[in-house]
Amino acid sequence: MIGMDNYEIWFIDFLDGKLSSGQEAELYTFLSLHPDLKAELDDLSVDVPLLFETLHVPDLPLKKEIKPVGNITEANYEQIFIASREGDLSSSEKLGLEEFLTINPFLVFEKSYYEKLTVSHRGERFLQKNRLKRSPLVVPLFRYAAAASVIVLLGVGIARYNLGISHQPAEMALSYTWGFPKTGYPQVEVTNVSNVMAAAQTKKHEITEAMGRSVNLPMRITGIDLQVAVPLPTHGFNANISESHFPGFSIQENGMDDDALSFRQVVGKVMESSFGESGLSDGLRKEQPITAKDMVDLAASPFKNDKQPVLSTTGDNTGGKRRIKLNLGIFEADFALH
Amino acid sequence: MTASEYNRCVDEFADGVYRFVLKNIRDTEAAKDIVQDTFEKMWRLREGIDANKGKSYLFTAAYRTLIDFTRRKRQNVSDEKLISWESETVVAHDVKEMIDRALGTLPEDQRVVITLRDMEGYSYDEIGEITGFSESQVKVYIYRARLAMKKYLVSLEVLL
């Protein structure tokens, strides 16, 4: 058997024409594994045709008579080699191919050529994955949850922006309250956004009954990353909000991408994604549906030029606590970042 | 498909889709655009997409966008230039590059199926689902592609 310790002897025997067909096939296979040795073989004799010429797969059949075995002939043996490579041969066909190669050993190399001929990549990576990603969204169950989601959306976005938080640590807690101007609604205590929805669903009947009287739902959300789920594209959220809308806030325009969305667009997308075109009030007050468009208009209203700014801060940054008060007309929200 | 499932598809398949497109058009910027378009489409239609078939959907969409791209390009480039692209002087740097060069000599259909087969390991019927070819068509294209690539490489004395 040819190896690194005796290949030179094989080379000389090859050049002297002393190798059998099977040994020549073995030599070809060896050279395919060690192509660097080809030059060494070529150097042994300038009188001998270049190895490439000798190794040329198409040349081999010209130099050797291909003996058919079963259905494998000179006309179709390459198809059989490809079929073998693709795993398309049956057990009996595999046996036939083995026999064919035993009888025509000089074709072993050609078969191995097909097996090595594979299109492969170079490890290229798509580096803009973050641009492709989207924010997961919570689908609120009814209008109160929907309203809450808008407020959470606003509050989280604003808090994150103004406090310079680019990524919400898991342990950070954000508490907020929201409610309609009228008070006295049932109290709901929740620990995360999933629970907001669950709690809201539980209280659905009470809320429905009390509709029009009052709403006051203190909530506590922990682990904002979980499902507040409205981690808006932070680069886009504040892009088109002017500083005048946020007394006491310092709006910085850095870090905005060219494809940043306007506030209205963002809210619109969230609403559209969350509620579709059917509106928000299915299962609740069907006689007075609130559509996604309504919500968008509502959420955008504070930012229209003819309206007074309705977003303001209370408290300060000292003591690690920041409060943000949000009034969108029919509901208010108080955010405190701990 | 939820947003989380969509994002998972981005993480798992964006590289593969990009490589598939890039291998077929050899244009980095165009490949990025096609990947972007493909995922945009997936996001728009996510409600009707089974998350378990996300990869198949992505490659199908990428393939269609790729075909549109090459057709548009073909309309904008003279036949003469297209031919010269395929027959320009070969300078071998490594075996992979030579195989890529051989790939570039194939007809578009063969090129697509062979890249799906070799780079993604798709079966004949899976490639058929992506490209719209019948299973037997896919098989024929793959066989022809292998044969043509081998002959091309051998003619250049490329030892694999």
- Say which of B103, B154, B159 has its CB closest to residue A35: B159
> By C-alpha distance, which of A15, A107, A120 is closest to A59?
A107
Structure tokens at A178: 């929201």
Decide if pLDDT at A83 tops 90: yes
Provide the 8-state DSSP code for A72: B
Question: According to the model, what pLDDT value does residue A43 have?
Answer: 65
Question: According to the model, what pLDDT value does residue A237 have?
Answer: 26
What percent of chain A is modeled with pLDDT above 70?
A: 33
Please judge whether A55 and B23 are an interchain contact, meaning their C-beta atoms are less than 8 angstroms apart: no
Under 8 Å between Cβ of A140 and A197: yes
Distances (CA, A) of B31 to A2, A22, B21: 46, 47, 6
Distances (CA, A) of A271 to A140, A159, A299, A325: 10, 20, 10, 22
B68 or A225: whose pLDDT is higher? B68
List chain B domain ranges: 1-78, 83-160
Instruction: Tell me the average pLDDT of chain A.
Output: 52
Please judge whether A126 and B139 are an interchain contact, meaning their C-beta atoms are less than 8 angstroms apart: no
C-alpha A332/C-alpha A151 separation (Å) is 8
What percent of chain A is modeled with pLDDT above 90?
A: 9
Coil, strand, or helix at residue A233? Answer: coil
Instruction: Tell me the average pLDDT of chain B.
Output: 85
Under 8 Å between Cβ of A68 and A74: yes
Tens of pLDDT, residue by residue over A286-328, are 333 344 444 444 444 434 433 333 333 333 444 443 344 433 3
Paired strand residues for A333 = A178, A326
C-alpha A28/C-alpha A112 separation (Å) is 10
Sheet holding A173-179: strands in order across? A217-222, A173-179, A332-337, A322-327, A311-314
Question: According to the model, what pLDDT value does residue A135 have?
Answer: 63
CB pairs under 8 A between A and B: 97
A284 falls in which pLDDT band (50, 70, 90)?
A: very low
Identify which of A44-53, A135-144, A165-174, B95-104 has the greatest average pLDDT. B95-104
Question: Which residues of A sit within 8 Å Cβ distance of B?
Answer: 31-32, 35, 38, 52, 55-58, 78-79, 82-83, 85-86, 88, 112-114, 116-122, 124-126, 128-129, 131-137, 273
- Say which of A88, A125, A132 has its CB closest to residue B10: A132
Question: According to the model, what pLDDT value does residue A243 have?
Answer: 29
The number of residues making up chain A comes to 338
Decide if pLDDT at B158 tops 80: no
Tens of pLDDT, residue by residue over A109-154, are 889 889 889 998 888 899 888 888 876 533 332 333 344 444 444 4
B15 contacts in chain A (CB < 8 Å): 124-126
Question: According to the model, what pLDDT value does residue A136 have?
Answer: 52
Decide if pLDDT at A205 tops 90: no
Decide if pLDDT at A178 tops 50: no
A27 or A256: whose pLDDT is higher? A27
Question: According to the model, what pLDDT value does residue B51 have?
Answer: 87
B157 contacts in chain A (CB < 8 Å): 52, 56
**β-pairing verdict for A332-337 and A322-327:** antiparallel
To the question of domain B83-160 being in CATH 3.90.25.10, the answer is no
- The mean pLDDT value for B68-90 works out to 57
Nearest chain A Cα to B42, which residue?
Answer: A132
- A83 CA: distance to closest CA in chain B (Å): 8
Question: According to the model, what pLDDT value does residue A271 have?
Answer: 42
Nearest chain B Cα to A226, which residue?
Answer: B4
Give domain B1-78's CATH number out of 3.90.730.10, 1.10.1740.10, 3.40.50.300, 3.40.1350.10.
1.10.1740.10
> By C-alpha distance, which of A175, A155, A176, A297 is closest to A230?
A155
Question: According to the model, what pLDDT value does residue B160 have?
Answer: 67
B1-78 and B83-160 have identical folds:
no
Identify which of A225-229, A281-285, B61-65 has the greatest average pLDDT. B61-65
- Say which of B22, B100, B147 has its CB closest to residue A82: B147
Query: A125's torsion region: left (phi>0), alpha (psi -120 to 50) or beta?
Result: beta
Angle of helix A108-116 relative to helix A21-33, nearest 10 degrees, comes to 20
- Say which of B17, B32, B149 has its CB closest to residue A128: B32
Please judge whether B99 and A38 are an interchain contact, meaning their C-beta atoms are less than 8 angstroms apart: no
Question: Which residues of B sit within 8 Å Cβ distance of A?
Answer: 2-4, 6-7, 10-11, 14-15, 17-19, 22-23, 32, 35-36, 39, 43, 96, 99-100, 103, 114-115, 118-119, 139, 142-143, 146-147, 149-151, 153-155, 157, 159-160
Neighbouring C-beta atoms of residue B69, cutoff 10 Å: 19
Coil, strand, or helix at residue A63? Answer: helix
Look at A213-217, A260-264, B75-79 and tell me which has the smallest mean pLDDT.
Answer: A213-217
Look at A8-22, A79-93, A217-231, A259-273 and tell me which has the smallest mean pLDDT.
Answer: A217-231
